[in-house]
Amino acid sequence: AQSVTQPDIHITVSEGASLELRCNYSYGATPYLFWYVQSPGQGLQLLLKYFSGDTLVQGIKGFEAEFKRSQSSFNLRKPSVHWSDAAEYFCAVGSNDYKLSFGAGTTVTVRA
Amino acid sequence: ETGVTQSPTHLIKTRGQQVTLRCSSQSGHNTVSWYQQALGQGPQFIFQYYREEENGRGNFPPRFSGLQFPNYSSELNVNALELDDSALYLCASSPEGTRPETQYFGPGTRLLVL
């Protein structure tokens, strides 16, 4: 069965500082990996996705993620955080059985 | 803006009642999935529909059922509501020609069961 672990429940970062959110997955074959962002009271917005090919994936809003098969990880990064990046971030893994499995999420707080 | 809308935005029901939640997708989005997101947790897959047929189901009891219509709208029905059904319910649609795992989410319906 596929599963996702996001080790950090809550991260606080200063505006302008870099951000890295950790994601570890468990899946027997090549996974499809996703990062979503959810602002309070909103649905989920897709930031980026990895299916195959280049292991460094660029997404929207200046985010990128790197797939590391040896570490079963798909960490999300942003070089310089803006106050509007405060939200909850979810890592998800998908497969050929059509469903997404999500982690529990990481809440990001941005301080001025 | 994903083009996926959900109604109602909020709903309060009592235990034992039945509820219908609605989702409307863009034209050409013929795959729709429903997820339940309990407070403080990630979304959990309920089921998926493709061209009006159920195309997979997560670990949810039969009292959770769905329908998909030719006009790219869909419904999630929950019978015999329980307190633990209180959650944000998200629908997500996928355009034809993309992988079903690439899903665009609506804003959700927040259900409170008392």
What are B46's strand-pairing partners?
A: none
Answer whether residue A95 shows pLDDT above 80.
no
Answer whether residue B52 shows pLDDT above 70.
yes
Q: Which residues make Cβ contacts (< 8 Å) with residue A4, sequence separation at least 6?
A: A23, A24, A25, A26, A91, A92, A93, A101, A102, A103, B42
Using a CB-CB distance cutoff of 8 angstroms, which residues of chain A are in contact with residue B40?
Answer: 104-105
| Helix, strand, coil content of chain B in percent (nearest 5) | 5, 50, 45
CA dist list (Å): A84 to A42, A48, B4, B26: 14, 18, 23, 28
Determine contact: A5 vs chain B, CB below 8 A: no
| Tokens read off for B74 | 């869909």
Residue B5, phi then psi, degrees to nearest 5: -120, 150
CB atoms under 10 Å from CB of A63, counted, come to 20
pLDDT at A52: 85
| Tokens read off for A87 | 């939200």
Q: Which of B58, B99, B107 sits opposite A43 (nearest CB)?
A: B107
Q: What percent of chain B has pLDDT over 70?
A: 97
Answer whether residue B58 shows pLDDT above 80.
yes
pLDDT at A104: 96
Q: Give contacts of B 42-101 with A, CB under 8 A.
A: 42-45, 48, 55-56, 58, 90, 92, 99-101
Using a CB-CB distance cutoff of 8 angstroms, which residues of chain B are in contact with residue A34?
Answer: 101
Higher pLDDT, B96 or A26: A26
Using a CB-CB distance cutoff of 8 angstroms, which residues of chain B are in contact with residue A59?
Answer: none
